[in-house]
Chain A
């Protein structure tokens, strides 16, 4: 199977797209979008990463086994962060379901969620 050789033009196109997306992410960060700031920043970062993986790392022209391996990496990453967060998000939930008296909340550290000083 002959190897795919990308044109210089396509590499420069990807390069320019990455620079433009970097500019957009810096600009958007200055706007106050509430929680959407993080969503927009991550969507842009994932888009940039996908461009690099597909074109600079030639995964678009790789075999299906290589593509599966690449997808596997990101599935495991989602599991790692997702399952960890499901633990942190659901602490004390079983007590609430059983109707047990709520645990005495710990005194929040300054700056922590629950601290009256935090909006």
Chain B
């Protein structure tokens, strides 16, 4: 306000305000002050996101290692238990996730070519496909519950499996629910991020010069797709030939 009469040192916001008045503060609005250029800022964000994804790879890697060990110990029971899963539902969901990766990639491309409304359109489609995946998953979980294949409460020696194989079959279903459950949790988080991104996208905050939040959420979304690409054959298709 009346800063000219004040002898007190100026606060950072006052300095920024006076610089803005003088037209000095003329960099890109999305550029953070600790970066020299937008390209450097993007490279930093990409590297950081990938570092996070490395930890995610190893997080799911522990579950895959557990799966491999028990699968090698109980090959026949795992094939037998896998037959209880719905290959049609799993295959449909694989296709749905691949479609959602395409729409996510197209959302980012829309930003790269400055099509603001197209970003929102592709984001809505991606959320729709992600929700379809979760809906099918809920339907599958419900069926497993009805069939007493819920590993926390189910009795696995009721005649569905070769006598005595129930315990190992229960291990398979524990792995199935934990692995697909944590994957589904990642999907829920991803859908939340996509819905959040719709607002700045609609307000035109992302264009060809800056779209880091879209790009980073895309990396996360595609990573979750890759996890499913491995889960589908390992859980649903193993031993399909022995059916």
Contact = CB atoms under 8 A, between A and B. Distances in A.
Interface of A: 1, 3, 5-6, 8, 11-12, 14-15, 18-19, 22, 25-26, 29-33, 37-38, 41-42, 44-45, 48-49, 52-53, 55-58, 62-63, 65-66, 69-70, 72-74, 76-77, 80-81, 84-85, 88, 109-113, 117-119
Contacts of B102: 11-12, 14-15, 56
Contacts of B73: 112-113
Contact of B75 (A14, A42, A113): A113
Interface centre among B64, B69, B229, B241 (most CB of A within 10 A): B229
A49 B229 contact: yes
Contacts of B61: 76-77, 80-81
B17 interface: no
B109 A111 contact: no
Nearest to A85: B68
A112 B168 contact: yes
27 contacts: A6-B105, A14-B102, A15-B99, A18-B101, A22-B98, A22-B232, A25-B232, A25-B237, A32-B241, A49-B230, A52-B101, A56-B104, A56-B218, A62-B46, A63-B46, A66-B43, A69-B50, A70-B50, A76-B54, A76-B58, A77-B61, A80-B62, A81-B64, A81-B68, A110-B162, A110-B163, A113-B72
A43 to B, nearest CB: 10
B147 to A, nearest CB: 19
Given A11-B106, A29-B241, A33-B241, A73 B57 contact: yes
Given A15-B99, A45-B229, A112-B168, 14 more contacts: A5-B109, A11-B102, A11-B105, A12-B102, A22-B95, A25-B233, A37-B241, A57-B222, A66-B50, A73-B57, A110-B164, A111-B76, A113-B72, A117-B164
B113 interface: yes
Nearest to A15: B102
B200 interface: no
B112 A5 contact: yes
Interface string B85-106: 0010001001100110110111
A57 B105 CA distance: 8
B205 interface: no
Closest 5 CB pairs of A and B: A110-B164, A29-B237, A111-B77, A29-B240, A73-B54
Contact of A22 (B42, B94, B163, B238): B94
A52 B104 CA distance: 12
Contacts of B218: 56-57
B213 to A, nearest CB: 15
A104 to B, nearest CB: 19
A119 to B, nearest CB: 7
Nearest to B43: A63
Given A32-B241, A74-B57, A52 B226 contact: yes
Interface centre among B218, B226, B230 (most CB of A within 10 A): B226
B226 A53 contact: yes
Given A8-B109, A31-B241, A73-B58, A117 B162 contact: yes
